[in-house]
């Protein structure tokens, strides 16, 4: 049954010609290192497809071993590595290394296979590095300890629930890898701040000394404006990253969409930094502090200001604007610009989209021909002139990359190949990450000794549940497999 699913995916991929690979690795419940391999391609209806195809176990996680495993697996699937145009991995050194990483070793043999660092990981890194500013870092430390302290014990969690109603929202612990999810945790904490305070006050009376001491320390840390101000600043700024985070996880998201949305997010942050946005946040945090009897204040000033963000300020509002809001906003803008908005030669082909064609310069077209030279023929320049004329006369329209790929099919083969390769380029490794979720449901501690072949087969059937299985063909294949002494009778 799994062979039917896999062969169906491979037929589509071969018909598309160009494809990219998405790979990631993790250890399963039996402590075996598993590599998940997925394919990204454009099908016959010009829709982007990202499909999981197999798991492959490995004993070594070096760049050389993983590169060999990826290449051999692709060849075993019957795909031509000469048509490999993109590689999507996370930022681990053995995968993304410029000299000995998997991407470098594969691109050395197949120059068209360009590497794209997972944009979802880049977004998490951008947020994570921005949160290293001292007030925000201290906030996350306190919030993380408080959330874990309450939710890690059924006894303490029952105390928290006793101060709420039947619809009380459960606190969400921080995820160590998904920084963008932390905005939701901060929002839940803001909404249930009084309930959390009551819980900590009750746990201060606990007979267990460690519980009582920890609860008292967390309550003192949270019952101050030094906690409230960074809490609102971080939450109000980070919630703007949620749409981009969700976009990057979509299988049909392309690099043009990802780059455009990241650029808009950066510009929005710049606008929020420069206008009266902080005034709105300040009003919210002051009102919140008044509701919970917290005095508006600034941190205590010490004689030696070595490790503190204490720039001179005339009022508490100026202090938190200069020492927390502006540094945090600047770091977010800088990180997003560096990690998500940086262009590269292959992305220049977005200027061939009809809506953007008027911005295409001769210099950019020369760079595009150099970048895609292996798939172009001598008619590329003529096709560009005809493509311009068709767009200018309104015969061809389209606002996104997918429309342009469809419009260029047939009459403009060179333009079509360029745009199709750009659409095939990977954006994130979310598909590989989702396959790991499937693996954890299939290979559990109760059945941890299944073979790699069985794991991949169950994974294919579980991930691609919508695939229609031809049961008669399954029985025929099983009958012809040589595992039966007596053959079945088919009409």
In a domain, 268, yes or no: yes
Same domain? 14 vs 161? no
- Whole-structure pTM value: 0.89
Residues in the chain: 491
pLDDT 10s digits, 275-332: 889 999 999 999 999 999 999 988 876 656 555 566 666 788 998 999 899 999 999 9
d(CA 328, CA 50): 35
What pLDDT does 344 receive?
85
d(CA 488, CA 119): 51
Using the 3D structure, point to which of 379, 400, 424 is the last residue of a domain. 424
Q: Which two tokens stand for residue 389?
A: 């004329």
Calculate mean pLDDT across residues 398-421.
92
In a domain, 491, yes or no: no
Query: Picking from 52-56, 216-220, 469-473, which range would have the lowest pLDDT averaged per residue?
Result: 469-473
Looking at the structure of the chain, the number of domains it has is 3
Domain that holds residue 407: 349-424
In a domain, 205, yes or no: yes
Same domain? 172 vs 259? yes
Calculate mean pLDDT across residues 152-163.
90
Contact present, 306 and 278 (Cβ < 8 Å): no
What mean pLDDT, rounded, does the chain reach?
90
Same domain? 384 vs 451? no
Q: DSSP letters along 278-298, please? A: HHHHHHHHHHHHHHTT-----
Vertex 369 angle, CA 365 and 370, to 5°:
115
Using the 3D structure, point to which of 305, 339, 373 is the last residue of a domain. 339
Among residues 190, 202, 103, which one has the least CA distance to residue 162?
A: 202
What pLDDT does 255 receive?
93
Phi and psi dihedrals of 226, rounded to 5? -65, -20
Using the 3D structure, point to which of 424, 447, 468 is the last residue of a domain. 424
Same domain? 373 vs 325? no
Same domain? 198 vs 255? yes
In the chain, pLDDT over 70 holds for what percent of residues?
A: 95
In the chain, pLDDT over 90 holds for what percent of residues?
A: 68
Contact present, 367 and 345 (Cβ < 8 Å): yes
In a domain, 27, yes or no: yes
Contact present, 402 and 419 (Cβ < 8 Å): no
Q: Which two tokens stand for residue 425?
A: 């380029």
What pLDDT does 5 receive?
94
Calculate mean pLDDT across residues 354-371.
92
Same domain? 256 vs 387? no
Q: How many CB atoms lie within 10 A of CB 163?
A: 16
d(CA 335, CA 329): 10
Same domain? 213 vs 320? yes
pLDDT 10s digits, 436-453: 999 999 998 888 888 889
CA R_g for the chain? 27
Same domain? 250 vs 358? no
Same domain? 94 vs 175? no
What pLDDT does 441 receive?
92
d(CA 43, CA 46): 5
What pLDDT does 166 receive?
60
Same domain? 200 vs 307? yes
Contacts of 472 (CB under 8 A, 6+ apart): 490
pLDDT band of residue 168 (cuts 50, 70, 90) is low
pLDDT 10s digits, 176-209: 667 667 888 888 899 999 999 999 999 999 889 9
Angle subtended by helix axes 193-203 and 134-151, to nearest 10: 60
Phi and psi dihedrals of 400, rounded to 5? -130, 175
Q: What is the CATH number of the domain that holds 21?
A: 3.30.420.40
Same domain? 455 vs 416? no
What pLDDT does 172 receive?
81
What pLDDT does 52 receive?
95
Same domain? 105 vs 134? no
Q: How many CB atoms lie within 10 A of CB 63?
A: 22
Contact present, 101 and 66 (Cβ < 8 Å): no
In a domain, 169, yes or no: yes
Calculate mean pLDDT across residues 230-256.
92
In a domain, 490, yes or no: no
Handedness of CA 289, 315, 274, 335 (dihedral sign): negative
Handedness of CA 14, 16, 18, 20 (dihedral sign): negative
In a domain, 344, yes or no: no
In a domain, 223, yes or no: yes
């Amino acid at each position: 049954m799994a062979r039917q699913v896999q062969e169906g995916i491979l037929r589509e991929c071969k018909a598309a010609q160009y494809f990219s690979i998405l790979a990631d690795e993790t250890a399963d419940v039996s402590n075996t290192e598993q590599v998940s391999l997925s394919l990204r391609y454009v099908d016959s209806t010009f829709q982007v497809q990202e499909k999981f195809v197999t798991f492959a176990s490995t004993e070594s996680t070096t760049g050389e071993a993983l590169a060999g495993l990826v290449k051999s697996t692709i060849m075993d699937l019957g795909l031509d590595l000469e048509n490999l145009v993109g590689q999507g991995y996370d930022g681990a050194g053995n995968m993304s290394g410029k000299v000995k990483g998997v991407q470098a070793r594969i691109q050395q043999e197949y120059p068209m296979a360009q590497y794209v660092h997972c944009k979802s990981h880049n977004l998490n890194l951008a947020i994570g590095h921005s949160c290293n500013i001292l007030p925000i870092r201290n906030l996350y430390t306190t919030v993380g300890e408080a959330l874990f302290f309450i939710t890690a014990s059924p006894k303490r969690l029952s105390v928290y629930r006793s101060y709420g109603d039947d619809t009380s929202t459960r606190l969400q612990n921080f995820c160590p890898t998904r920084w963008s999810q932390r905005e939701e945790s901060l929002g839940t904490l803001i909404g249930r701040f009084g309930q959390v305070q009551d819980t900590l006050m009750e746990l201060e009376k606990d007979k267990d000394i460690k519980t009582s001491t920890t609860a008292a320390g967390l309550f003192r840390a949270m019952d101050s404006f030094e906690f409230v101000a960074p809490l609102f600043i971080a939450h109000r700024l980070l919630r703007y990253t949620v749409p981009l985070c969700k976009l990057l996880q979509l299988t049909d998201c392309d690099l043009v969409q990802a780059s455009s949305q990241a650029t808009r997010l950066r510009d929005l942050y710049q606008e929020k930094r420069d206008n009266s946005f902080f005034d709105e946040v300040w009003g919210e945090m002051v009102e919140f502090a008044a509701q919970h009897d917290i005095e508006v204040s600034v941190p205590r000033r010490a004689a030696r200001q070595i490790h503190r963000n204490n720039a001179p300020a005339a009022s508490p509002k100026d202090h938190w604007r200069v020492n927390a809001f502006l540094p945090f906003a600047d770091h977010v803008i800088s990180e997003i610009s560096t990690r998500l908005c940086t262009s590269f030669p292959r992305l220049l082909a977005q200027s061939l989209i009809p809506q953007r064609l008027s911005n295409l310069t001769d210099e950019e077209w020369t760079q595009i021909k150099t970048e895609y030279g292996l798939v172009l023929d001598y008619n590329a320049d003529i096709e560009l002139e005809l493509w311009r004329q068709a767009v200018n006369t309104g015969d061809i329209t389209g606002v996104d990359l997918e429309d342009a790929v469809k419009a260029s099919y047939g009459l403009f083969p060179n333009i079509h190949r360029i745009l199709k390769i750009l659409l095939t380029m990977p954006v994130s490794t979310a598909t590989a990450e989702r396959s790991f979720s499937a693996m954890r449901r299939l290979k559990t501690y109760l059945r941890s000794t299944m073979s790699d072949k069985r794991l991949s087969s169950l994974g294919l059937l579980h991930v691609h549940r919508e695939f229609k299985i031809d049961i008669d063909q399954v029985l025929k294949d099983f009958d012809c497999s040589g595992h039966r002494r007596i053959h079945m009778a088919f009409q």
